Amino acid sequence: MDPKISFFFYLGAVIAFAIAAAGPAWKHGLRTRRGGEPTLVLVPLGLALAVFPTMWTVATIAW
């Protein structure tokens, strides 16, 4: 995977983790969006974005 693409995956992961760390009141004060809590939505997204470049590299080497 191109290093520039990997950078944007890692940057997205850091942003997702930072927003999740801000807590459920990260947007518009205490009002949150409908659906899951932002922390419960953003932590798995951040993990997926952080793991994907490594997984892609390993898969490329393996096959």
User: What letters, b where the CB count within 10 A reaches 16 and e where it falls short, cover 7-23?
Assistant: eebeebbeebbebbeee
Residue partners of 5: CB distance under 8 A and separation at least 6:
53
Q: pLDDT at position 34, please?
A: 57
pLDDT tens sequence across 25-57: 555 555 555 555 555 677 888 899 899 999 999
Whole-prediction pTM: 0.69
Q: pLDDT at position 8, please?
A: 92
Q: pLDDT at position 11, please?
A: 92
Q: pLDDT at position 36, please?
A: 55
